[in-house]
Amino acid sequence: MFACEHLTQREVYMSVVIAVVNGKGGVGKSTITSNLAGWLYNIKQKETLIVDLDFQSSSLDWASIARTYGKDVCDVVSLAGEKTEKHLIVKNTQMQIQRFRSKYEFIIIDCRGTIDEFTIGALRSADIVITPLSASALDLQATSTLLDMFEQINATKDYTMHLYLLLNNVIANTNTLKDSIRLIRERIAENNSLSLCKTIIHRREEYKTAWGEGESIFATNGKGKDEFLSFIKETSIL
């Protein structure tokens, strides 16, 4: 007989929870979420759920657009509007996500653009964390705070989460980008649970077009499709 207390969440529930997190807004969390969901649900045929924790409800809006156009899209639920005391938010977020694990193979959490109780609940529930960021000093500062929290939470788990840093919405290969890559590598050195993806997601019109039509980048035939697939292959998602 198995002693379930020795098994990880991923082993017990046979599901994967992916948190898309950054400590600030405007870095493309919802875009990463929708494209990842499109790949898992439409391409790999996996039972997939998006949990939208953001008050802006971008992922919920994307799914609504898709259904308006008659597209087949994964389930999306919003937990952003839950009203409760702060000390209960972490626990309630974890309980909700834990309940979804029995129904879905993959759960993608589109987090808020801030580090709060919802973010903590998402990190405590996650198996994998994806942190999109741009090549800016402000993003690097916010990300450093998030990495500190990630390491603290990871140390309390009975399994190891992995966090993938993904440079997103990049315009060109500039000196600022090179400096950002150097600083990130210095910050994550000697921590095997942190990785900087080699793939860089560039600013492309096709990402905006796909979003506006309720599609993922995998419904297009441009360079964005190839680079996003390259990013996925760097992770342990499948």
Q: Give the C-alpha separation, 146 to 123, whole Å.
A: 10
In terms of Cα–Cα distance, which of 63, 132, 67, 123 is closest to 93? 123
Predicted confidence (pLDDT) per residue in 68-120, tens digit? 999 999 999 998 765 555 667 888 889 999 999 999 999 999 999 888 889 99
Of 1-5, 19-23, 72-76, the range with the lowest mean pLDDT is 1-5
Confidence of residue 6 (pLDDT cuts 50, 70, 90): very low
Mean pLDDT of the chain: 88
pTM for the structure as a whole: 0.90
235: left (phi over 0), alpha (psi -120 to 50) or beta: beta
Predicted confidence (pLDDT) per residue in 122-174, tens digit? 999 999 999 999 877 777 777 888 999 999 999 999 989 999 999 999 987 77
Predicted confidence (pLDDT) per residue in 189-223, tens digit? 889 999 999 999 999 999 999 999 999 999 999 99
H-state helical runs in the chain: 9-13, 29-38, 58-68, 86-100, 117-125, 137-154, 175-188, 205-212, 223-234
Q: What is the pLDDT of residue 85?
A: 57
| Domains of the chain, CATH where assigned | 13-234 (3.40.50.300)
Q: What is the pLDDT of residue 5?
A: 41
pLDDT exceeds 50 at position 52: yes
pLDDT exceeds 80 at position 2: no
41 by Cβ neighbours in 10 Å (0-12 / 13-18 / 19+) ranks as buried
